């Protein structure tokens, strides 16, 4: 064998072949990555910025809702030095030829003694709801108020307000002509969910859902399906989610019926998201014991028909690093996509649903284009027939805030 005295030539030839092979593999992987990006990635397209006259660090994008060609955007931390309060603001934007154009700033639900307007918002067609705290003349919190607005002759007009001097509203949801307000500290902390139905040209209180025991904190979070047939209320005390369906053929006529209760592995903070038809729905605990956060997906069991947890999506990050995974969530209208925000590390995750009903991560975003911020994922909503994902980053642009737009039309469905 003539391989040299110590085999060095063979080693050299082997290394060259290995390097050549590795280069080929890397080139192939790079090509596949580019192809995946071209075919399956979401792309930042634009930012909605707060009005130029509203620039005193308002945290624009704190809250967000989209229905049709209307978007409602909250900036709950606008500071008023003369009153030493964060009164907040809410803006309406109209989608005109693919561009979100500022339409108006909503009038407060009451003219004075309020704060954090826009901390919670919701929209359903030509109706919108805004919640905020009420104050006494000394600036102390006394309760809360929810204003309901209607689009009349191209103007958003306050139709009515629901003021409660004894309880704070923590959540609001709208869909299918149904409005739900959550008061977790009402009824001795058992919690109450007020369910209104659009009747004619006004919302009428249809029922009040009360927690079964003290300190249950029911309705800390609420959700309603887009068709208005299902309402969810979450209990922060024991991690239970109560599922109410609007049943027409009961002995006493149509009414809301508690059809099932599911228990999520969370009992501290549990944002909710629900698909248009009522299933699946997602429950998040962004401050779970692992400090990673987690999102649980509930759907109908194929064999029994019961609503069960079918999947748990764990958050990322290092142990002990609170990233608020699940602080915001949104389903596309057909539930083929699920967006999950982790604003503590300025990241939003996008999951696609496969044929078996499981969700797999297909993309993530950490930047809202040219605007520098670190709270991306604070609020989420799909728009334009699910081709656009909108996400608030209230810390971007030096705290002025933006709502980033991501084109998700090319995301591959698994």
Q: Is the pLDDT of residue 333 over 60?
A: yes
Q: Residues 57-83: pLDDT tens digits?
A: 478 999 999 999 999 999 987 655 555
Q: Which residues pair with residue 93 across a beta bridge? A: 71, 102
Q: Name the 3-class secondary structure at 320.
A: coil
Domains identified in the chain, total number? 2
- Tell me the C-alpha distance between 111 and 234, whole Å: 32
pLDDT the model gives residue 9 = 39
pLDDT the model gives residue 99 = 96
pLDDT the model gives residue 80 = 58
Q: Are 191 and 248 contained in the same domain?
A: yes
pLDDT the model gives residue 142 = 82
| Least reliable range by pLDDT among 18-32, 188-202, 362-376 | 18-32
Residue 86 lies in a domain: yes
pLDDT the model gives residue 5 = 37
> What is the number of other CB atoms lying within 10 angstroms of the CB of residue 21?
10
Cα 118 versus chain centre, distance: 14
Q: Are 83 and 24 contained in the same domain?
A: no
Residues making up the chain, counted from first to last: 414
CATH number at residue 173: 2.130.10.10
Q: Are 24 and 132 contained in the same domain?
A: no
- Tell me the C-alpha distance between 221 and 270, whole Å: 7
Q: Are 291 and 342 contained in the same domain?
A: yes
Residue 350 lies in a domain: yes
**Range of the structural domain that residue 19 is part of:** 1-40
- pLDDT over 90 percentage in the chain: 56
| Least reliable range by pLDDT among 53-67, 190-204, 302-316 | 53-67
pLDDT the model gives residue 269 = 57
Q: Is the dihedral of CA 318, 319, 322, 324 positive or negative?
A: positive
Q: Are 12 and 130 contained in the same domain?
A: no
Tell me the H-state helices in 130-257: 186-189
Residue 402 lies in a domain: yes
Average pLDDT, the chain: 83
Q: Are 390 and 318 contained in the same domain?
A: yes
Q: Is the pLDDT of residue 363 over 70?
A: yes
Q: Is the pLDDT of residue 21 over 90?
A: no
Q: Are 362 and 274 contained in the same domain?
A: yes
Residue 12 lies in a domain: yes
Q: Is the dihedral of CA 179, 182, 186, 187 positive or negative?
A: positive
Q: What is the mean pLDDT of residues 79-107?
A: 83
Q: Are 32 and 67 contained in the same domain?
A: no
């Amino acid at each position: 064998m003539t391989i040299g005295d110590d085999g060095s030539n063979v080693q050299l030839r082997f290394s060259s072949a290995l390097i050549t092979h590795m280069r080929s593999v890397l080139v192939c992987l790079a090509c596949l990555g580019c192809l995946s990006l071209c075919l399956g990635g979401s792309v930042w397209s634009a930012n909605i910025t707060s009005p130029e006259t509203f620039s005193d660090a308002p945290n624009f994008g704190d809250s967000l809702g989209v229905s049709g060609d209307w978007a409602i955007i909250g900036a709950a931390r606008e500071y008023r030095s003369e009153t030493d309060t964060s009164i907040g603001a809410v803006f309406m934007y109209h989608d005109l030829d693919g561009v979100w154009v500022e339409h108006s700033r909503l009038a407060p639900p009451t003219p004075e003694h309020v704060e954090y307007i826009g901390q919670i918002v919701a929209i359903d067609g030509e109706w919108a709801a805004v919640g905020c705290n009420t104050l006494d003349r000394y600036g102390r919190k006394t309760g809360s108020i929810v204003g309901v607005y209607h689009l009349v002759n191209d103007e958003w007009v306050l139709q009515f307000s629901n003021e409660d001097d004894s309880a704070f509203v923590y959540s609001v949801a709208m869909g299918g002509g149904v409005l739900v307000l959550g008061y977790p500290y009402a009824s001795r902390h058992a919690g109450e969910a007020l369910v209104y139905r659009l009747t004619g040209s006004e919302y009428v209180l249809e029922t009040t859902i009360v927690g079964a025991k003290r300190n249950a904190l029911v309705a800390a979070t609420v959700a309603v399906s887009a068709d208005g047939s299902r309402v969810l209320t979450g209990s922060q005390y024991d991690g239970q989610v109560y599922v109410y369906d609007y049943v027409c053929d009961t002995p006493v006529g149509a009414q809301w019926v508690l059809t099932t209760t599911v228990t999520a592995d969370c009992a501290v903070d549990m944002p909710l998201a629900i698909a248009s038809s009522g299933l699946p729905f997602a429950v998040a605990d962004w401050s779970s014991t692992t400090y990673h956060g987690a999102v649980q997906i509930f759907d109908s069991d194929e064999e029994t028909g019961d609503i069960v947890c079918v999947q748990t999506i764990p958050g990322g990050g290092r142990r002990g690093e609170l990233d608020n995974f699940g602080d915001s969530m949104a389903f596309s209208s057909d539930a083929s996509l699920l967006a999950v925000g982790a604003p503590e590390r300025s990241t939003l995750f996008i999951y696609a649903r496969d044929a078996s009903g499981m969700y797999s991560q297909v993309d993530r975003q950490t930047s809202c284009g040219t605007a520098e911020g670190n709270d991306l994922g604070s609020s989420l909503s799909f728009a334009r027939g699910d081709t656009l994902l909108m996400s608030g980053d209230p810390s971007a642009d030096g705290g002025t805030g933006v709502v980033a737009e991501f084109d998700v039309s090319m995301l591959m469905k698994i």
